[in-house]
Chains A and B, each alone.
Chain A
């Protein structure tokens, strides 16, 4: 039992470290370190421009999209090498958040389903951060029940005509392209009538509106489609096979392990150890210590669960559904921590703008986005523990006959 690299891993790490040492944009380091949860801001430069510049520099040196083939702008690296890269990139990986969806989900889907000319056209600029991609899946009426989506695509000559609405689309307003899951046949059961496309986000009829969130921020968008024409050549997979294409996209999400989700624990520990004007710190109270200890153990539990997954990758295994626990634990934990910090502040907890207030307001989203707590529990129950799948009353019913909200 050890945390040591194999000889190959150590060599890779040394190479990555040497390149990073010579190339990281140190001018942003302080801002990246101090940026609060969910909000990255640079004092002297636009974050999008800085992110694109860093991605470009990595791509030119062969350090972009490490797990992609070289022909498509990647490095052809192994999964464990990708993890090592993330560890070494450290704080600067915050500059990659703009590309997470494109690199982690859109790119692999294009790679699996587009034709060779398209792959050569679209993947290298995506890897290099020259073009940004978004994922258009969720809709107002379907989140967890993704296959219940209603955005319609109807064939018209060599094109498809799309009408409908997507929601929770990260970075849609910055994106050049998107992958879009649509319903092409409402007369068959819901999983069977879906088709995937990719489209130019500047196509006529695409309208992007930011969503003002409960915490006052606007990280996501609504995207409206009004008679948007997409060439049939931009279909990914056969008509009606959109669900299995979407599963390819979602499976790739799992590969991005290695980075442990923020829980708010280090901030909470520091807060609890800071004495007030009377010289007493919250940690002097045994009730506070009890909570801190439980959170500390959950926090280290997550950290070392990730280390076990990385070890499994190092042996050549692919990450499985057990990796669902990271977000499940971290989301609730951050919400609990933030709530308790506010309690400890007393009436001062009412004042918005502090780090715990920001966590308190943002953490409900963590428990919903990218698979709700309930969906994650289902995944663990079904795919890890082998319990029966939920009974689905709409599984074999034509989509246009399913009961629906509103």
Chain B
């Protein structure tokens, strides 16, 4: 058996890691509103944005395991790009639920980075749910407010959940077109854009025949690469803490020689390892269309959220006062962990999904 990534996938990982180490600078993206267009173009040129999009729609046609490899590196590097929103979630919506014309219109542009797409369902406090959606579509026009929308400030296309004549549907909306007004929100993670979008009669085109059941399916599919992004962040936070514990001397010894610190780091390793193993399971399930995808995806998401939060918190703790300065990157990981914990629905949503799967199994 080989429950691991292949040599080629590892090579891809190394290549993406080198590229992001050289080009991803989360800090420089803060002033730019949480997006680095040059980095995005570079990733597009390497074929990373359409890595799981079939070749007939302008992608690299590699697969979901490769998508997960890239997502992990994006998380590790805290890359300030809308990868999870556009390449993992929105592209999947269009690929799985869009009409042939919609796929031909949008997937090549998402793959080459000339368009960014986001999914917009949430309206205020609480996870998205059909009975919480007040936005409406009538006569092909969308009205309502979506907030917060992650990466919404830099997106060209919205996939918006709204109430139509036949219940909740999904609609493609040109976010640069008429009837759309965006206002920036202060993002917990300033390396990623967060906005409120007001739609006032914006032209809206139904995404295939998608309804809320499509959302349910896409949540599972997008949770897998998102868990990898979280695992990448958790691993990097653990490494930072480990390196600092070896370098920082107090009471005449490296602080990493104190059991209180060693055991904290060991526990971080444990949660990061469990999350990685769950993420591998979910990647396998996604790549093979396994019946257990729902359970695996929810397990990966619950585990990865726990691990990234745990590692990011304790990374600051190991760094002590220095960890609380703006200059050290610790707070950026802490912020990213908080952002990703709720980005695709918060922990309670995924915990409930997991238990529902266990009961059905």
Measured CB to CB, the residues of A under 8 A from B are 1-6, 9, 269, 273, 283, 286, 289-290, 292-294, 296-298, 300-305, 307-308, 310-312, 314-315, 322, 325, 328-329, 374, 376-378, 380-382, 384-391
Bound-state CA distance A329–B270 (Å) is 8
Bound-state CA distance A310–B348 (Å) is 33
Cβ–Cβ contact B351 & A289, under 8 A: yes
Given A305-B274, A391-B253: A3 touches B3 (CB 8 Å cut-off): yes
| Segment with Cβ contacts to A, from B39-47, B157-165, B198-206, B298-306 | B298-306
Which residue of B245, B253, B302, B348 has the most chain A CB atoms within 10 A of its CB atom? B302
Q: Mark B297-340, 1 if CB is under 8 A from A, else 0.
A: 01100110010000000000000000000000000000000000
| Segment with Cβ contacts to A, from B103-111, B139-147, B278-286 | B278-286
245-261 of chain B: CB within 8 A of chain A: 245-246, 253-254, 256-257, 259, 261
Contacts of A390 in B (CB 8 A): 257, 259
Bound-state CA distance A9–B3 (Å) is 14
A-B contact pairs, 10 of them (CB 8 A): A1-B284, A2-B284, A269-B358, A301-B299, A302-B274, A305-B273, A310-B3, A325-B270, A387-B257, A388-B256
Q: Mark B53-67, 1 if CB is under 8 A from A, else 0.
A: 000000000000100
Bound-state CA distance A355–B265 (Å) is 34
Nearest 4 A/B pairs, CB to CB: A301-B274, A293-B351, A381-B262, A304-B277
Cβ–Cβ contact A301 & B303, under 8 A: yes
Contacts of A374 in B (CB 8 A): 259, 263
Choose among A296, A305, A325, A386 the residue that contacts B358 (Cβ–Cβ < 8 A): A296
263-295 of chain B: CB within 8 A of chain A: 263, 265-267, 269-270, 273-275, 277-278, 280-281, 283-284, 287-288, 295
Bound-state CA distance A162–B221 (Å) is 65
Bound-state CA distance A4–B284 (Å) is 12
A-B CB pair tally, cutoff 8 Å:
162
Choose among A4, A307, A386 the residue that contacts B242 (Cβ–Cβ < 8 A): A386
- Secondary structure type dominating chain A contacts: helix
Judge if B5 is at the interface, Cβ distance under 8 Å. yes
Contacts of B6 in A (CB 8 A): 1
Contacts of B299 in A (CB 8 A): 296-297, 300-301
Contacts of B302 in A (CB 8 A): 293-294, 296-297
Contacts of A297 in B (CB 8 A): 274, 278, 299, 302-303, 306, 354
Which residue of B2, B245, B306, B347 has the most chain A CB atoms within 10 A of its CB atom? B2
Min CB distance B61 to A, Å, is 18
Bound-state CA distance A296–B359 (Å) is 12
Contacts of B178 in A (CB 8 A): none
Contacts of B261 in A (CB 8 A): 387
Contacts of A283 in B (CB 8 A): 355, 359
149-169 of chain B: CB within 8 A of chain A: none
Bound-state CA distance A301–B351 (Å) is 15
Cβ–Cβ contact A292 & B1, under 8 A: no
Given A1-B287, A377-B263, A388-B257: A296 touches B3 (CB 8 Å cut-off): no
Cβ–Cβ contact A3 & B1, under 8 A: yes
Judge if B350 is at the interface, Cβ distance under 8 Å. yes
